Structure 1
Amino acid sequence: MHWAYRIAEELIKKYPNQKTFVCASGISPSGSVHIGNFREVVTTYFVVRALQQLGKQTRFIFSWDDFDRFRKVPQNVDASFAKYIGMPYSEIPCPFGCHGSYAEHFEKEFEQSLQQFGIFPEFIYQSEEYRSKRYNVPILHALQQRNEIYDILMAFKTGRPSETERENFYPVNVYCEACGKDTVSVTDFQNEVLSYACECGELNAKNVLEAANVKLNWKVDWPMRWMAEDVVFEPGGRDHSSATGSYRVSREIVSEIFHHQAPKYEPYDFISIKGTGAKMSSSSGNNITPGELLKIYTPEVILFMFAKYQPNASFHIGLDEDVIRNYTEYERVSDASQGQMKEEIRAALELSVVTSKTQRAPKFSHVASILPLVNFEASLVRDVLGKTDEEYTLEEVGEVCARAEYWLRNWCPEKVNRVNEEKNHEYYDSLTDMEKEWVEGFVGVLEFAANLHDDDLMRRVYDICHVDDPKMKRNNQKRLFSIIYQLVLNSSSGPRIPLLVHSVGKERLIALLGQ
């Protein structure tokens, strides 16, 4: 059983009388949301789809934690924004001047990419929720239960509790109404009134039920929102899942303080960029955004990459040869019959469907190998594919060409093969006499096979290196292909031989290969 359906069935069993299954995810808009954060959203999305397939009503909510404090200036933001550290993301200007706030810029960037995946959650902006005073009653309750919250927090720490620290503990952050920052110390709480002093010199006191500048600390805020939205499922990163992690602490707080049941929780592991092994981070710049990935992969391929792995399995995003491998795997699975697929793969494929519209497209590896040889012209790629009995519209070919070109030019320029201008005499002279005979045999096939179908052409090419030993024959054939690519493209690899012939043309090939 696929993991999303396993979780869905566990939820149905755990909440047999639940009318609507509220499934949640959330991210802080500290910078461009990377593909590692995407796992937070897509894990919930797959569970929601599984619940819907099982006939259940769902509510998929996504919280933007834009009332969190600005902690660090990302690499792609001007260093002068350090002056806003300590303010909520929603109150900081847009660093690029195109949106209403810092938060809105990165929120809309991510929301637009989610639309391409067919993912449309109900977005909740926590700055609006806190400013509207929706949470003021639970905030007051948390302050009234602050000693008990302190005891729960300390139970998960190695340090010893202190009675003085306990009496001076307040589970809130306060944004100063003068400077807008959270450089604030709470000095007193009595009769529902919170008093504070800010480093800027501001002294103030607010009735908690009327305050719009008070936010619960993370490990209290999270469980409070489980209660507020009646959440039954939410995933979380591996770092939240340890014995002393946020989920364990919040599970106790929601039960003991808010008297509500914690949602079912699914930990997910991190995603790294191939070659670094490092965790992606919005502030470090070590990231790939969904928008960037969508310039290379179709939404379906990306969703399949996530759906096929258990959430607790780590994997890396590679933008080198992995792109070809990922496309090839998806194309192979998509073309397979239902009976040939394992149940988990079949479910992963179904969960990755973005539109019910039947989509035809040439194989990515074929397009990527042809494209540089025809000067990146989609119409010529379509013509070459047509000669191999693959008929596509220009629009169908063009979409694949756009992704392949972006990948080749920006991430894998070493695969941009160009046809040699003249024969490589030095390389040809380095060949053995037998290898030269193979090349001459290939030229002969080209000269006398003008009307051959591609399959017949390849049979004749394979026979050039014929020996009785099957293993030796395969090695000879690989060697011949490598020689052809080197003489034509100055590379050890290239497109399938029929595609090479149709892309370059027989006359030009003969000129580069013949004596």
Structure 2
Amino acid sequence: MPIVAQSTEADWVSRFADEVIAEAERRAQSTGKSGTAPTIVCASGLSPSGPIHLGNLREVMTPHLVADEIRRRGYDCVHILSWDDYDRFRKVPAGVDPSWAEHIGKPLTSVPAPPGSAYPNWAEHFKAPMIEALAELGVEFHGISQTEQYTSGAYREQILHAMRERGRIDAVLDRYRTKDKDKAAGGAKKPQNQQQKPVDEAEVRAAEGSGAASEDDGSAGGAGYYPYKPYCTVCERDLTTVTSYDDETTEMAYTCVCGHAETVALSEFNRGKLVWKVDWPMRWAHEGVIFEPSGVDHSSPGSSYVVGGQLVREIFDGVQPIGPMYAFVGISGMAKMSSSKGGVPTPADALRIMEAPLLRWLYARRKPNQSFKIAFDQEIQRLYDEWDALERKVADGSALPADAAAYSRAVSTAAGELPRTPRPLPYRTLASVVDITTGHDEQTLRILRDLDPENPIGSLDEARPRLDRAENWITTQVAADQRTRVREEPDTELLASLGDTERESLRMLLDGLDEHWSLDGLTHLVYAVPKLQAGLPAEAKPTPELKVAQRTFFALLYHLLVG
């Protein structure tokens, strides 16, 4: 089937899908395969160096939504997710045993998992919750471990090609290097002796500062520029310097700050990787990627994406993918997220307090270059109100096309509908109810049943999972001093101090409970008691004096019920 662009909905996802399909057709024509339907490749990349947060989720959701739209149109499309688990371990996060510093410079898959983890290494520990969250979000992807790719020799030819073309690569990179960067890339002298020395953190820091491991584009020392960084076969770290390379034999010599030095045949050696600015464009060509977004930090002059566009064309005979820049995602009340600092909310955290369709909607309704915030505070209630209002508009056909498209992408994928709450009661109401009942199922059901006497809810399962999300929000995100705690025991001291008027008001309230046991009925009764005590009918309009009496009665009830 020939690939023909066709826009079905007026939103940013459809427009990118149009571009990607058109680019797929252009590439097919350029290779003489026009008329066929090759698999369209969209891509993401995540480094499991720490908690994968909600800002990182945009790296996945943007291509997911585009790939899903392409699948909805009937095309074969794969969304590959490269796990950059062969990246180096850069720093020990706060809260982790400082002794983990001995692993700085090792691949993430060679670093032990944090204490108490059930996973075999650092990378798997942080990948697992993300994989689980993506499944709940309905994100279908093909995962690729870069550790497996490099250590299996999958990139052998690309690595050897990059080493042969190192001079041309260096020339491309040199167009963007600043004088300061050139100076930093000089490379430190490494010990030549073969005996391994104990790990010295001062040496590690010095080596990183010299450009030995900190540069994204490799180092150009006295031995020349090399786009490949070996991991030492003794200490496993990348605090190494390539000292020579022979294109014919592929023999590569390197030294490490640990004291080890050796010569290996790169045609057989699988313990190292291309530096990032070369690795990324190599993968674009290798995978045939047509769409891959990147953060704003990758879009500045000399950044990975900009330089990669030239390297993929000039060195790897490939094409740079369509790569929109995506803006940062913030959290209500928090600064810009950084996974390296820790303590930032992850997709799993968000899915504990909101349903998957709502979280999908937040990413679908904003263009990638528009920043937005995800609410973990009181704003989540307004967000849910907005979502419910949109659902009503979609149901009655009054939603704008772009809003309706975002809603459709939130509640379903090409594979089908996401699980939803059968009776989506207002989130703020559910939060208030579970706050008062402290999660007591019987009391919660009793109150929720009275919300709609004409069509009462039959069981709490009808209100789930939204009910559970609201309860999690109350228990994890609302400060203890802002929560409602109904007294477990009567305030006998206060009751004993009440006068006749106050006692009478409480007797009138208790006598009327059976007859007024509904939210509207209780509201009417509480306001009516001071009126009846004043000899006025329950429907009387309040006077200034009556308002004072009502406030006094309300305060008494608050003290007796919640302290």
Which TM-score band applies after superposition, normalised by the shorter structure? 0.7 to 0.9
Contact 1:27 1:63 in 2 (8 A): yes
How far did 1:3 drift? 1.1
Can you list the C-alpha shifts for 1:93-122, whole angstroms capped at 9, x where unaligned?
222341121111111121112111111311
The equivalent position to 2:251 in structure 1, one of 187, 193, 199, is 193
The residue number in structure 1 matching 2:468 is 402
Tell me what 1:218 maps to.
276
Relative to 1, partners in 2 of residues 1:35 and 1:302: Cα closer, same or farther, differing over 3 Å?
A: same
Match of 1:285 in 2: 342
**1:300 aligned residue:** 357
- 1:465 deviates by 8.5
Residue of structure 1 equivalent to 2:402:
344
Of 303, 307, 310, which aligns to 1:252? 310
Question: Partner residue of 2:134?
Answer: 114
**What residue in structure 1 maps to residue 444 of structure 2?**
381
Q: What CA distance in whole angstroms lies between the structure 2 residues aligned with 1:186 and 1:146? A: 13
Q: Which TM-score applies when normalising by structure 1?
A: 0.83
**1:149-298 equivalence runs, <5 A:** 149-159=169-179, 168-190=224-246, 191=248, 192-277=250-335, 279-298=336-355
Count of residue correspondences: 475
Q: Structure 1 unaligned runs (5+)?
A: 426-435, 468-472, 491-507
- CA deviations over 1:60-114 (Å, ceiling 9, x no partner): 1100001111001112422211100000011112223411211111111211121
Change beyond 3 A, Cα 1:227–1:329: same
Compared CA separation, residues 181 and 484, structure 1 to 2 (3 A):
farther
1:49 shift after superposition: 1.1
Please give the residue correspondences for 1:344-493 in structure 2 after superposition, counting only pairs within 5 Å: 344-354=402-412, 355=417, 359-360=421-422, 361-389=424-452, 390-397=456-463, 399-413=465-479, 414-419=481-486, 447=512, 450=515, 488-489=557-558
Q: Relative to structure 1, is the Cα distance of residues 170 and 334 closer, same or farther in structure 2, using a 3 angstrom cutoff?
A: same
User: In structure 1, what residue type is equivalent to 2:157?
Assistant: V
Q: How far does residue 376 in structure 1 lie from its aligned partner after superposition?
A: 2.0
Distance 1:480 1:274, change over 3 A: farther
Secondary structure at the aligned position of 2:429 is classed as helix
Shift of 1:166: 8.7
Q: Is the 8 A contact 1:307 1:348 kept in 2?
A: yes
Asked if the contact 1:379/1:394 (under 8 Å) is kept, the reply is: no
Deviation at 1:315, TM superposition (A): 1.7
CA apart distance, 1:233: 0.4
Q: Which has the higher mean CA deviation after the structures are superposed, 368-377 or 447-456?
A: 447-456
* TM-score, normalisation: structure 2: 0.76
1:153 alignment partner, SS class: helix
Cα distance between partner residues in 2 of 1:485 and 1:324 = 26
Structure 1 letter corresponding to 2:146: Q
- Provide Cα deviations, 1:175-222, integer angstroms capped at 9, x if missing partner: 011111111110001122211111122221222221101200101000
Q: Which residue of the other structure, out of 43, 47, 53, is the alignment partner of 1:24?
A: 43
The change in CA–CA distance for 1:177 and 1:378 in structure 2 (over 3 A counts) is: same
Report if aligned partners of 1:40, 1:236 keep a CA contact under 8 Å in 2: yes
Change over 3 Å in CA distance of 1:267–1:485 after alignment to 2: farther
SS in 1 for 2:58: helix
Gaps of 5+ in 2: 1-9, 29-36, 187-219, 495-501, 529-537
With over 3 angstroms needed to count, the CA separation of the structure-2 counterparts of 1:484 and 1:408, relative to structure 1, is: farther
Asked if the contact 1:69/1:89 (under 8 Å) is kept, the reply is yes
Alpha-carbon shift at residue 238 of structure 1 (Å): 0.7
The residue identity in structure 2 corresponding to 1:276 is M
* Per-residue deviation, 1:479: 11
Assess, with a 3 A threshold, how the Cα gap between structure 1 residues 266 and 484 changes in structure 2: closer, same or farther: farther
Deviates more, 1:282-291 or 1:35-44: 282-291
CA–CA distance in structure 2, aligned partners of residues 5 and 82 of structure 1:
46
Instruction: State which drifts further: 451-460 or 87-96.
Output: 451-460
Identify the range of structure 1 (11-20 vs 379-388) with the bigger mean alpha-carbon deviation.
11-20
Code of the aligned partner of 2:378: E
Question: What is the identity percentage for the equivalent residue pairs of Structure 1 and Structure 2?
Answer: 33
Are the equivalent residues in 2 in contact too, given 1:382–1:397 (CA < 8 A)? no
SS of the aligned residue for 1:80 comes to: helix
Q: Could you say if the C-alpha distance between residues 276 and 97 of structure 1 is closer, same or farther in structure 2, counting changes exceeding 3 Å?
A: closer
Q: Which amino acid aligns with 2:126?
A: F
